[in-house]
Amino acid sequence: MVYKLIAVDIDGTLSNDDKVITRATREALINAQKQGIIVVIASGRQAPGLERESRILKLEQYGGLLLSYNGARIINASTREVIYENSIDKEY
């Protein structure tokens, strides 16, 4: 089987109870990116709240994606381009 993308939730999944991404997890995801696999970190957090994990996993170096606001916004970590955005109008 060939994987092209790995998407992982941050809190309680990617990071441990101490909010730390372990060395083994970090190395595995960086190695996956070196093989051309896109890594996506997903969270209900606001987009700026994903920056620390993005740096740790070197997503900007390998073109990873940041999925924030429970999927309402997806950003390319390298270019900062918003790939997808779906928000509720302020009038509502």
What are the catalytic residues? 9
Residues 6+ apart with CB under 8 A from 61: 33, 78
Cβ pair 44, 77 in contact under 8 A: no
> Counting Cβ atoms within 10 Å, is residue 45 exposed (0-12), middle (13-18) or buried (19+)?
middle
Tell the residue number behind the tokens 């939730």, with chain if given.
9
For 88, the 3-state DSSP assignment is: coil
